[in-house]
C-alpha cells in the first residue's frame, strides 16, 4: 500500500483541503491499489476508472478556483452495488440485472457527490443483499483480507473487504438484517446501520422495504460518522424518510475519542450471553466490556426476552417483502430477458427470465415469502411475525428506560472458511443472530473492532434508541480509543 491508501478519510480530506495532495493523486493511488490486490480480494464488481478520475479532476479544478468544497472533498469511496448509479452498471450481485445501467442516481450517491467524494466503483454483494458471506453473489465471492480462504461477511462483504484491503478509505453498505455490521465485524472494520428512515432508500434496490437501511462503512469511527453525516437526513423522495436532521454523530465521535464514558449506562443483553456464540468471541467481548468499564461506563445486564424470536420473525418478514419487491424483475423493464423468440407468451418469457436470472437463495426467499403471505397462512406466519416485531420493539423501549445503549458481540462467530455454510441456509442465517433485533425495531447499530479471536477480528455492537445515532458513535469511538484499529497482517 502507498502512504495515501493507508490514511483515514479524515487525513485524506485534510491533505486535499490544504493542497498537499490533489484529488487526482489520491484517486490514482487507490485505483493502483485496486489493480494490485483486487484479483485476490474480488471486492469490486465494477471499477469506474474514467468516472473517478474525471470527478477528481473536477474537484482539483474547483479547489484551484477557490471554491468552498465539502468536508470529504477528494476522498475516494466504494459503493455497494445495491445503489443505482447513473450510467454505471448496477447488478445487485444478480444475473438478472447484468448489463443494466440505471438512468438515475440514488440519493446516497447524489449526496456522496455533493460532499466531494470520488466514487471508485461498485462493490460485490450477495445477490439482492440476501446472505452473510457474499458467496451468493452471481459474480463469485469476495475474500477476507485477513485470510483469503475465509468470507468477508455479507451481504456487503465487498465494501468491507475493500476497506480492510486498503482499496478505499470509505464505503457504503446497506443493512436489512446485519449486512453492514456483520461484514464490518469479520473484517476488523467499522460499519454503522443508521436509524431506519435516517438515510434515504431512494435508488436502493429494494429487498425488504420496512428494514432496508443504507449506511456508512469505514476503518475508523470518526470516518464512519463523517460519511453518515454526509449521506443522512430527510429525503422527500423516500416516503419513510424521517423529516428531522441527523443527530450530531461527528461531534459524538469526537467526544467519544477522548475515552471518557463516565455517566454512560450500557446494557449487556442477557439473551446474547453465549448460546450459539464461539467461546473465543465471547471472551474477546468480555475483555472489551472490561475496557468500557475502565473508561467509566456503568454496565448492567438487561433481559430482552423476545430477542430469541427475532431470527424466525425476520425470516418471515424479509422474505415476504422480498417476494413482493422482486416481482418487478420480469424480463420486460430491466436487465436480462430469456427465451423471447417471438413464439413464447409474455408469461413464459417472464418465467424463463426469472428461472435463469435469480440464484437459488433468492428463489428460496421468494418461495418462503409467497407462502407466508398466501391467504391460508397469512395470519399464522406474516401476521404472527409482525406481532413478534412489536414485542421486540417493546423490549428495546423498556431497555432504553434503564440504559443509554445496549451492547453485544456483533456476530456469534469469526469469519468462517469459504464454503463452510453454503449447504445449510440456517447456518448462514445464524450469522445475523445479534444484528437482526435492531432492524426489526428500527434503531441504529454500529460494529466496532474490539480485538481478535484465533487471529481474526471480533466486533462489538452498540445499539441505541431510534434517532439517537450519536450515542452509539460516542461509545464506539471510546472503545476504539482504547483498542485501536485493526490491520490484516498480510495486506
Instruction: Find the binder of ligand GLN among 190, 318, 362, 450 (CB under 6 A).
Output: 318
> Rounded distance, CA 283 to CA 102, Å?
46
Question: Alpha carbon 106 to chain centroid distance?
Answer: 16
79 contacts 92 by C-beta, under 8 angstroms: no
129 lies in the binding site for ligand GLN (CB under 6 A)? yes
Backbone angles phi, psi at 407, to 5 degrees: -130, 155
- Please name which of 253, 194, 174 lies closest in space to residue 468, comparing C-alpha atoms: 194
In terms of Cα–Cα distance, which of 170, 220, 175, 173 is closest to 196?
Answer: 175
Q: Which of residues 198-217 bind ligand GLN (CB under 6 A)?
A: 207
| Max CA pair span of the chain | 73
Select from 94-102, 171-179, 221-229, 238-246 the region that touches ligand GLN (CB under 6 A): 171-179
Residue 176 near ligand GLN by CB under 6 A: yes
Q: How far apart are CA 307 and CA 318, in angstroms?
A: 16
Is 105 or 432 the residue whose CB approaches ligand GLN more closely? 432
d(CA 290, CA 295): 9
Q: Which of 22, 106, 179, 408 is catalytic?
A: 179
Looking at the Cβ atoms of 286 and 364, the one nearer to ligand GLN is: 364
Stretch that binds ligand GLN, among 129-137, 285-293, 303-311, 455-463 (CB under 6 A): 129-137
Q: Of 155, 220, 325, 410, which one interacts with ligand GLN (CB under 6 A)?
A: 155
Distance CA 475, CA 107 (A): 29
Q: Output the smallest distance, CB 279 to ligand GLN, in A.
A: 23
372 lies in the binding site for ligand GLN (CB under 6 A):
no
Task: Considering the candidates 94, 132, 142, 155, report the single residue annotated as catalytic.
Answer: 155
CB of 343 to ligand GLN, least distance (A): 38
Residue listed under C-alpha cell 500500500: 1
Site string for ligand GLN, 411-430 (x = CB under 6 A): --------------------
Residue 179 in contact with ligand GLN, rule: CB under 6 A: yes
Q: Is the Cβ of residue 177 or residue 437 nearer to ligand GLN in the bound state?
A: 177
* Number of residues counted as binding ligand GLN (CB under 6 A): 13
Q: What angle do CA 390, 391, 392 make, to 5 degrees?
A: 90
Query: Do the Cβ atoms of 178 and 428 come closer than 8 Å?
Result: no
Binders of ligand GLN in range 26-85 (CB under 6 A): none
Please give the distance of CA 209 from its chain centroid, rounded to a whole number: 15
The grid coordinates of residue 59 equal 474537484
Catalytic residue selected from 80, 95, 122, 193: 80
131 binds ligand GLN, rule: CB under 6 A: yes
**What's the min distance (Å) between Cβ of 284 and ligand GLN?**
22
Instruction: Name the residue among 365, 336, 364 with its Cα closest to residue 351.
Output: 336
For residue 407, the surrounding DSSP H or E stretch is strand 405-409
Q: Is there a cis peptide before residue 377, judged by omega within 30 degrees of 0?
A: no
Residue among 155 and 447 whose Cβ is closer to ligand GLN:
155
Is 80 an active-site residue? yes
Contact indicator for 180, 444 with CB cutoff of 8 Å: no
208 as an active site residue: the answer is no
Answer yes or no whether residue 432 interacts with ligand GLN by CB under 6 A: yes
CB of 321 to ligand GLN, least distance (A): 11
Is 162 within 8 Å of 41 (Cβ atoms)?
Answer: yes
Q: Which residue number, 143 or 181, has a Cβ lying nearer to ligand GLN?
A: 181
* Piece of the chain touching ligand GLN by CB under 6 A; list 42-50, 114-122, 123-131, 481-489: 123-131
Among residues 132, 195, 438, 447, which is the contact residue for ligand GLN, using CB under 6 A?
Answer: 132
SS3 488: coil
CB of 367 to ligand GLN, least distance (A): 15
- Among 471, 414, 479, which Cα is nearest to 443's? 471
Task: Out of 175, 235, 271, 470, point to the residue binding ligand GLN (CB under 6 A).
Answer: 175
User: Least CB distance from residue 477 to ligand GLN, whole Å?
Assistant: 24
**155 carries an active-site annotation:** yes
Residue keyed to cell 485470510: 147
CA distance 449 to 216: 15
In the complex, what is the shortest distance from the CB of residue 365 to ligand GLN, in angstroms, rounded to a whole number? 8
Report, in Å, the least distance between residue 178 CB and ligand GLN. 5
Active site residues: 80, 155, 179
Positions touching ligand GLN (CB under 6 A) are 129-132, 155, 175-179, 207, 318, 432
Amino acid at each position: 500500500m502507498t502512504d495515501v491508501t493507508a490514511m483515514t478519510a479524515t487525513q485524506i480530506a485534510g491533505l486535499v483541503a490544504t493542497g498537499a495532495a490533489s484529488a487526482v493523486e489520491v484517486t490514482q493511488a487507490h485505483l493502483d491499489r485496486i489493480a494490485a490486490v483486487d484479483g485476490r480480494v474480488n471486492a469490486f464488481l465494477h471499477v469506474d476508472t474514467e468516472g473517478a478520475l474525471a470527478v477528481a479532476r473536477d474537484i482539483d479544478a474547483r479547489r484551484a478556483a477557490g471554491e468552498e468544497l465539502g468536508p470529504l472533498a477528494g476522498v475516494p469511496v466504494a459503493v455497494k452495488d445495491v445503489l443505482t448509479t447513473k450510467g454505471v452498471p448496477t447488478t445487485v450481485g444478480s444475473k438478472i440485472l447484468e448489463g443494466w445501467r440505471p438512468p438515475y442516481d440514488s440519493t446516497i450517491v447524489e449526496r456522496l457527490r455533493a460532499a466531494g467524494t470520488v466514487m471508485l466503483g461498485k462493490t460485490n454483494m450477495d445477490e439482492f443483499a440476501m446472505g452473510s458471506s457474499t458467496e451468493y453473489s452471481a459474480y463469485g465471492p469476495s475474500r477476507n483480507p485477513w485470510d483469503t480462504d475465509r468470507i468477508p461477511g455479507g451481504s456487503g462483504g465487498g465494501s468491507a473487504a475493500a476497506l480492510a484491503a486498503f482499496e478505499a478509505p470509505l464505503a457504503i453498505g446497506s443493512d436489512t438484517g446485519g449486512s453492514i455490521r456483520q461484514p464490518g465485524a469479520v473484517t476488523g472494520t467499522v460499519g454503522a446501520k443508521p436509524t431506519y428512515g435516517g438515510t434515504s432508500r431512494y435508488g436502493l434496490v429494494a429487498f425488504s422495504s420496512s428494514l432496508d437501511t443504507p449506511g456508512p462503512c469505514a476503518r475508523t469511527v470518526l470516518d464512519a460518522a463523517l460519511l453518515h453525516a454526509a449521506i443522512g437526513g430527510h429525503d422527500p423522495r423516500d416516503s419513510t424518510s424521517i423529516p428531522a436532521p441527523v443527530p450530531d454523530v461527528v461531534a459524538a465521535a469526537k467526544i467519544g475519542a477522548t475515552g471518557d464514558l463516565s455517566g454512560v449506562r450500557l446494557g449487556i443483553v442477557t439473551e446474547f450471553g453465549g448460546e450459539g456464540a464461539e467461546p473465543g468471541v465471547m471472551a474477546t467481548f468480555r475483555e472489551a466490556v472490561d475496557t468500557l468499564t475502565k473508561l467509566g461506563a456503568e454496565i448492567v445486564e438487561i433481559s430482552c426476552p423476545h430477542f430469541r424470536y427475532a431470527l424466525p420473525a425476520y425470516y418471515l418478514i424479509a422474505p415476504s417483502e422480498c417476494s413482493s419487491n422482486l416481482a418487478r424483475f420480469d424480463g420486460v423493464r430491466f436487465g436480462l430477458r430469456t427465451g423471447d423468440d417471438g413464439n413464447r407468451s409474455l408469461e413464459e418469457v417472464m418465467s424463463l427470465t426469472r428461472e435463469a436470472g435469480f440464484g437459488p437463495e433468492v428463489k428460496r426467499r421468494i418461495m418462503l415469502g409467497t407462502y407466508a403471505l398466501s391467504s391460508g397462512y397469512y395470519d399464522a406466519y406474516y401476521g404472527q411475525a409482525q406481532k413478534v416485531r412489536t414485542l421486540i420493539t417493546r423490549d428495546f423501549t423498556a431497555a432504553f428506560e434503564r440504559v443509554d445503549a445496549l451492547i453485544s458481540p456483533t456476530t456469534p462467530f469469526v469469519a468462517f472458511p469459504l464454503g463452510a455454510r453454503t449447504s445449510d441456509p440456517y447456518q448462514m442465517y445464524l450469522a445475523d443472530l445479534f444484528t437482526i433485533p435492531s432492524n426489526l425495531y428500527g434503531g441504529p447499530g454500529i460494529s466496532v473492532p474490539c480485538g481478535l479471536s484465533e487471529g481474526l477480528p471480533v466486533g462489538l455492537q452498540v445499539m441505541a434508541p431510534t434517532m439517537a445515532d450519536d450515542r452509539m458513535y460516542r461509545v464506539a469511538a471510546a472503545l476504539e480509543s482504547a483498542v485501536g484499529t485493526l490491520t490484516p497482517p498480510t495486506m
